[in-house]
Amino acid sequence: MYKKDLVSVIIPFHNAEKYVGKCIECLKVQEYKDIEAIFVDDGSDDKTSEIISKCADSRIKLISLKKSGVSTARNVGIQHATGEYITFWDIDDMPHPDFISTFVDDIHKYNVDTVISNYEDVFVGNKHVEITLPWENQVIGEKEITEVLIPRMIYPTKGETAIRGLVWRTFTYTRILKQNNLFFDPDISMAEDLLFTIELYKLSKKIYVESRSLYDYIRNGNSSMNSRRDNVIEKQVLFHHRFVAELKRLGIYEKNKKRYAANKLNMYSVCISACVRNGNIQANALKDLKKLRRVLLDDDVNILQSDAPMKIKVANYLLLLKMYRLLIMIYAIKEKKRISKYN
């Protein structure tokens, strides 16, 4: 039995002592007070858990795990959630004080299953860039969810605005997750949000799109997204294996086949970027690019007929032509330009 109107906030973390104080402050200043904050420690070896334990707020719960990954940490949070509603935060971001109160008001007022909102990217120098959805304070039904929202999450076609699958701008009923056994895939550590949110939105008969930006996504250069990751090629291949299987299971693959193919082609660009993360050429960059080329050769993706942008197609052709050093040079320049926004 869920506690009516209690909101469960799931906050996974790993070695976050630098950010936990601000996160706790964000909880304390929430206009809506009926909250349970479930912090899930994913195998930290710093003082984050100690700081949380010393916090004199009965609404805060702490669960400690061996290092298992963010998906498992979030799943444990879901399992322990007792609130009527559930949402997710990243510990290094800054939800606005009206984050929970606005979501609770919206889900009641518009009688929907799920609410999603705009948010702001925050770069170095406190530069805020609002990221908006293509609806304004509007309820969207199953037709728009299936034919507009989810397709743009899979991959936007020319002229469309991409929609990222992000759990921290999403608010829903806890029972929807538990009754449908909806959890994060524990084997996926890249774009795990996307698989989760696509299924959640498909399960939702009505979604309200809140036009206010309720969450500051802090784009710092030390985040996991900007850190060097091992086995990127293997992780991307696994993700796409699960991604296409999920689209087929939900019955939406055939209508989105071309969008998925473009997303799959983009995978190779992501892997090339990983070879020069933050503009630093990795020691095994050439070896990884050769491995990536073998994966591309075995792939049935059609580069020429793909809806992916021309720059993605060119990168894939250069990979096929074994132009490894040229790719490293191009992507190193791109990475340095990208990371300059964060530092």
Q: What are phi and psi of 87, to 5 degrees?
A: -150, 175
SS (H, E, C) the chain: CCEEEEEEEEEEECCCCCCHHHHHHHHHCCCCCCEEEEEEEECCCCCHHHHHHCCCCCCEEEEEECCCCHHHHHHHHHHHCCEEEEEECCCCCEECCCHHHHHHHHHHHCCCCEEEEEEEEEECCCEEEEECCCCCCEEEEHHHHHHHHHHHHHCCCCCCCCCCCCHHHEEEEHHHHHHCCCCCCCCCCCCHHHHHHHHHHHHCCEEEEEEEEEEEEECCCCCHHHCCCCCHHHHHHHHHHHHHHHHHHCCCCHHHHHHHHHHHHHHHHHHHHHCCHHHCCCCCHHHHHHHHHHHHHHCCCCCCCCCCCHHHHHHHHHHHCCCHHHHHHHHHHHHHHHHCCCC
Q: What are phi and psi of 285, to 5 degrees?
A: -60, -50
pLDDT band (50, 70, 90) for residue 159: confident
**Confidence check: pLDDT of 141 > 50:** yes
Evaluate whether 10 touches 80 at the Cβ level (below 8 Å): no
| Closest C-alpha to 90, from 223, 277, 278 | 223
User: What six digits make up the tokens of 28?
Assistant: 């304390």
pLDDT greater at residue 341 or residue 285:
285
Per-residue pLDDT reduced to its tens digit, 218-255: 986 555 554 556 789 999 999 999 999 999 999 999 99
Lowest mean pLDDT, pick from 209-213, 229-233, 286-290: 229-233
pLDDT band (50, 70, 90) for residue 126: confident
Tell me how far apart the alpha carbons of residues 168 and 166 are, in angstroms, rounded to a whole number.
6
Region 265-287: mean pLDDT is 88
In this structure, how many other beta carbons lie within 10 angstroms of the beta carbon of residue 53? 12
pLDDT band (50, 70, 90) for residue 281: confident
Q: What is the pLDDT, as a whole number, of residue 223? A: 52
Please state, in angstroms and as integers, the Cα–Cα distance from residue 119 to each residue in 58, 164, 169, 301, following that order.
29, 11, 7, 34
Lowest mean pLDDT, pick from 29-43, 184-198, 218-232, 303-317: 218-232
What percentage of residues in the chain have a pLDDT greater than 70? Answer: 95
Per-residue pLDDT reduced to its tens digit, 306-334: 999 999 999 999 999 999 999 999 999 98
Q: What is the pLDDT, as a whole number, of residue 234? A: 95
Q: With the C-alpha atoms ordered 31, 36, 40, 46, is the resulting torsion angle positive or negative? A: positive
User: What six digits make up the tokens of 99?
Assistant: 């984050």
Measured distance between the N- and C-terminal CA atoms of the chain, rounded to whole angstroms: 46
Region 48-58: mean pLDDT is 94
Evaluate whether 156 touches 149 at the Cβ level (below 8 Å): no
What percentage of residues in the chain have a pLDDT greater than 90? Answer: 84
Contacts for 52-60 with beta carbons within 8 Å, 24 or more apart? 52/20, 52/24, 55/24, 57/24, 57/27, 57/28, 59/27, 59/35, 60/24, 60/27
Tell me how far apart the alpha carbons of residues 121 and 220 are, in angstroms, rounded to a whole number.
10
| Closest C-alpha to 257, from 307, 292, 186 | 307
Please state, rounded to an integer, the average pLDDT across all residues of the chain.
93
Tell me how far apart the alpha carbons of residues 26 and 39 are, in angstroms, rounded to a whole number.
14
Tell me how far apart the alpha carbons of residues 110 and 296 are, in angstroms, rounded to a whole number.
46
User: What six digits make up the tokens of 44?
Assistant: 């930290």
Q: What is the pLDDT, as a whole number, of residue 338? A: 79
**Confidence check: pLDDT of 92 > 70:** yes
Q: What is the pLDDT, as a whole number, of residue 221? A: 54
In this structure, how many other beta carbons lie within 10 angstroms of the beta carbon of residue 178? 15
Region 197-215: mean pLDDT is 98
